[in-house]
Amino acid sequence: MVSDDFVKQVSGYGLATAQIFYHLPDHPSFIQTFVWQNYDLFPKFPELTKFLEFWRRELDGKLHSVTVAHQQLIKPAELRTVNGAFFLH
């Protein structure tokens, strides 16, 4: 069975890392950081967008800023079929 993560990578998803800065609910003058990482599609980032919508709707810490890094782990030129296998005794 193939993992869901591998299927996403072959479908064009890459590893997205977001550093989220937010204000502490009890002390709004302090800023805290949270790191989020998941497979996502560049450049629209639908998974990150869903997470940030959840954050705004459900959590008390007001967002300050978000920095995103993205790397496509499997690129089309790197995926090739195997024509044969060789066994050495």
In a domain? residue 68: yes
Domain count within the chain: 1
Residue at 85 is within a domain: no
Helix%, strand%, coil% for the chain, nearest 5: 25, 35, 40
Distance CA 18, CA 35 (A): 6
pLDDT per residue over 49-72, tens digit each?
Answer: 999 999 999 999 999 999 999 998
Residue 72's domain spans which residues? 4-77
Looking at the domain assignment, is residue 88 inside a domain? no
What pTM did the predictor assign? 0.78
pLDDT band at 2 (very low <50, low <70, confident <90, very high): confident
The length of the chain in residues reads 89
At residue 13 the predicted structure's pLDDT band, cuts being 50, 70 and 90, is very high
Q: What are 17-36's pLDDT values in tens digits?
A: 999 999 999 999 999 999 99
User: Which tokens in the block code for residue 18?
Assistant: 């977001």
Q: What is the pLDDT of residues 41-53, one digit of tens each?
A: 999 999 999 999 9
